[in-house]
Structure 1
């Protein structure tokens, strides 16, 4: 996956700017955290990157492809974890993953499902109805669903919701592994403390505008940066 470039991207709803002339580079092999208060434009940015919402102005380049081209030909390369889990309550964890693997047209859905259930720590609950899962377990299953097809871009909206400390530690390790494999990760969260040992790059949005965009070093204090800009 090549980098994603946003060039003066705006998203307008009615007379209001959700995003205003945002220029940004997102690189593969790194996790970019996007933070900001409610209404800052975080969800609008994710929706554009997911090719669900078209920019009102400006352009997004996925490598050399424009937003319009990638929306038609590259959407299958995107993994998406949003507030809507897309999990079927009447199916078991295993059946959910096998169903989505079949929908993606992937080979060996049974083996793929087994692999991802192991990677997200749900092997012991694989044959339970997902309606019986805790919030954290559903979040793990949602992440496995988003990763079945080996996306080169992974978009994460509050991915640690409902996870206990052990679950957060496991997901952090998984995200670091995905980065090492060259995946491009973008994570939106209000939980700044979880980002300290996870994020490679920090983006701060305020009222639709980009107010901070810089790599993170081991000495950087994310909360302090946020307080200065949000």
Structure 2
């Protein structure tokens, strides 16, 4: 695995090599622990998807969430992304109290879920231009060349890049989704079933990206049912059942 260089913010060039794209824009300042959940309750309607959930994830750690369908894994990821409001308990992500300022954490995390999170009627290049500009405006240091570098890194064929996302296979959409995550250079990667829909080469690539992201200073929290593969990637596994850590 090649070493990931630290970003050089003094370089104004728009060209970024694909090997350089796996990075975090603020690793030096990432609080530790990166995630601290203490007795968190999260509701889906009246249903307690999380019922007193506890979790600590240290900076640069790779942690696997494991458990059956409906256990609360996706809710944990969405909570950490600032998309679900904690109803009770303490939830701090990247130093941000989610009960008060959860919107402010959204630009610092990258969530890749079952839905690719792309605009289906836009082309791959149009999607990437949008996400790269959004990342730049968010202060990540993203450059125009990042979008091509990210697509190259994810092995997205040049012939597909002007096609609307809706016309791509599930695996290609997943690759594009990861490319969109890469240009954001998130401090915290939140991955829901990251290997789903990918062929073996794509799965190996995701494993490599996750390991490199942690080496570059990012923190990774992911959910997976593919435990044999996931446990090799993760430094630690947290089991969830009925909305609580077991």
Distance 1:11 1:74, change over 3 A: closer
Q: Which residue does the alignment assign to 1:48?
A: 79
1:122-162 deviation line (CA, Å, top 9, x unaligned): 15345341333221111010011122121101111111111
Q: Which residue does the alignment assign to 2:197?
A: 162
Q: Which residue does the alignment assign to 1:149?
A: 184
CA–CA separation in structure 2 for the residues paired with 1:74 and 1:171 = 24
Structure 2 alignment gaps of length 5 or more = 1-29
> Is 1:78 the counterpart of 2:115 in the alignment?
no
CA–CA separation in structure 1 for the residues paired with 2:143 and 2:183 = 9
Tell me if structure 1 keeps the 8 A contact 2:64–2:231.
no
The structural deviation recorded for 1:201 is 1.2
Of 85, 108, 113, which residue of structure 1 is paired with 2:147? 113
Of 113, 122, 127, which residue of structure 1 is paired with 2:161? 127
How many residue pairs get matched? 211
Tell me if structure 2 keeps the 8 A contact 1:117–1:126.
no
Distance 1:14 1:85, change over 3 A: closer
Q: Which residue does the alignment assign to 1:62?
A: 93
CA–CA separation in structure 2 for the residues paired with 1:192 and 1:178 = 20
The structural deviation recorded for 1:97 is 0.5
> Normalising by the residue count of structure 2, what TM-score does the alignment of the two structures yield?
0.79
The structural deviation recorded for 1:70 is 4.2
Structure 1 alignment gaps of length 5 or more = 212-230
Tell me if structure 2 keeps the 8 A contact 1:6–1:61.
yes
The structural deviation recorded for 1:91 is 2.9
Of 201, 207, 210, which residue of structure 2 is paired with 1:172? 207
1:162-218 deviation line (CA, Å, top 9, x unaligned): 11111111111111000101111111111212213211110101111210xxxxxxx
1:53-98 deviation line (CA, Å, top 9, x unaligned): 1111101112443113441322200101112212223333222101
Distance 1:187 1:63, change over 3 A: closer
Q: Which residue does the alignment assign to 1:215?
A: none
Distance 1:205 1:63, change over 3 A: same
CA–CA separation in structure 1 for the residues paired with 2:220 and 2:189 = 5
Say which is worse superposed, 56-65 or 78-87, in terms of deviation: 56-65
> Normalising by the residue count of structure 1, what TM-score does the alignment of the two structures yield?
0.84
Q: Which residue does the alignment assign to 1:11?
A: 42
Of 206, 216, 224, which residue of structure 1 is paired with 2:241? 206
CA–CA separation in structure 2 for the residues paired with 1:44 and 1:69 = 18
